[in-house]
Structure 1
Amino acid sequence: MICWILLLINLTSCVCGTFVVNVTQTSYQAEENHNITLEWTFTTNTDSSLNSTFIYCTLTTENKESVLYDLRKGVEDPESQDEQFKGRVQCDKDVLKEGRIRLHVSRLRTEDSGPYLCEVSTPYGATYGECRLSVTVAADEPKLLRPQMSPQPESRGRIGLYVGLGLTAVALLAVCAGLCSAD
């Protein structure tokens, strides 16, 4: 009878919500090639350590489930991480003890879009939180327009004009000088 009562108390504490996982943001938007931080919080208990904590974060699309992050008994398991995320996901382990999961995803790709589920299991409870990430194609950088410079025409025409005008002026001066001297 005592075992049934203890089991009932344990189940009631789990059902009543003593352990929760929340997302800091339910929806994230970013452009490809940028970085983003996905964040969840979970209920902590001062009696337990990370050695008894399991964290399993995934991206679930129509085609497959991709493991983003896997922590087993306080130890990261990089072997379970999907190829899509290898070398692009870092976890802030310093804030795990505070009940915060911060996953930094770098060099985003459009295929990183979708629902992210983070499951947390501890000796005092287990549950999950979900958020959605939408990665859009990077906008093209606006190209600076430079005015088109037309090539300078060769200056022979201008030189000819100046020479022609000069000769005309000399001729006019000569005519004027001749008229003045005739007087």
Structure 2
Amino acid sequence: MVCWILLLISLTPFTWGTFVVNVTQSSYQAEENHDITLDWTFTTTAHMSLSAVYIFCQLLTEDKDPVLFHLHEGVEVPESQDKQFSGRVQFDKDVLREGRLRLHVSRLRTEDSGLYRCEVKTDDDAGSDKCRLKVTAAADEPEPLRLTESPEPEIWGLHIGQGLRAAAGFLPPCFILCFAYLFFKNM
């Protein structure tokens, strides 16, 4: 029992007062023109005010880091959003108080693929986490298979099937006649 109490006491400083931001899923995969929801969680406190929350989410690329979403003092800042994402990102404000950042991205494009980082700041602390999104090209809709009978190739004016049926009917009597001829000839 004493060991459990000492273990609890030794872990307590690491859990109290620590601000943590986590993605709920480290990688996502979707097809272009579909929608997806990217989800992060962060530590909340009883005294945390939504007007003191600052969120900045970007797609990290080699050339530039386009802004996916920006929230300043609890207010969305759409003018800082990159035109790549303009009109395609919806923020779920209802779950923010619970410590959740939920972004719905619609009409995905292949260029939306990459590493996304969201940074969350409050009056108390800040943190960030990353997730990867892979958007694959939309698969062409395959044409439905139609079962059709293909015509059999013709040989000497007859279809192969007709020729085989005719041969099957003709060959047994032929064999019988040949066998009878050979049998009676040797007698």
Report the secondary structure of 2:84's partner residue: helix
Moved over 4 A (4+): 147-150
Aligned to 1:144: 144
State the match for 1:81 in structure 2. 81
Deviates more, 1:137-146 or 1:65-74: 137-146
Distance verdict in 2 for CA 1:118–1:17, change over 3 Å: farther
In the TM superposition, what are the counterparts of 1:1-183 in structure 2 within 5 Å?
18-146=18-146
The CA RMSD over aligned residues, in Å, is 2.2
| AA matched with 1:46 | A
Identical positions, percent: 66
Residue type matched to 2:132 in 1? R
Name the SS for the 1:139 alignment partner: coil
| Pairwise CA distance, 1:137 | 0.6
- The CA deviation at 1:149 is 9.0
- Pair member with larger Rg: 1
Gaps of 5+ in 1: 1-12, 151-183
Q: Deviations over 1:120-164 (max 9, x none)?
A: 0001110101000000011111102446799xxxxxxxxxxxxxx
The code of the aligned residue for 2:143 comes to K
Cα distance per residue 1:85-138 (max 9 Å; x no partner): 011000100000000000000000000000000000001110101000000011
How far apart are the structure 1 equivalents of 2:138 and 2:105?
A: 16
The TM-score, its normalising length taken from structure 1, stands at 0.71
Q: Give the residue type in structure 2 aligned to 1:120.
A: V
Cα separation, 1, equivalents of 2:146 and 2:38: 42
Secondary structure, counterpart of 1:65 in structure 2: coil
TM-score, with normalisation over the residues of structure 2? 0.69
Question: How far did residue 64 of structure 1 move?
Answer: 1.0
What is the distance in 2 between the residues matched to 1:30 and 1:17?
A: 37
1:61 deviates by 1.1
CA distance in 1, matches of 2:36, 2:27: 12
Distance 2:84 2:100 in 1: 24
Q: Do the aligned partners of residues 29 and 72 (structure 1) sit closer, same or farther apart at CA in structure 2, a change above 3 Å counting? A: same
Letter in 2 for 1:91: F
Counterpart secondary structure, 1:85: coil
- Mapped to 1, the partners of 2:37 and 2:132 lie a distance apart of 12
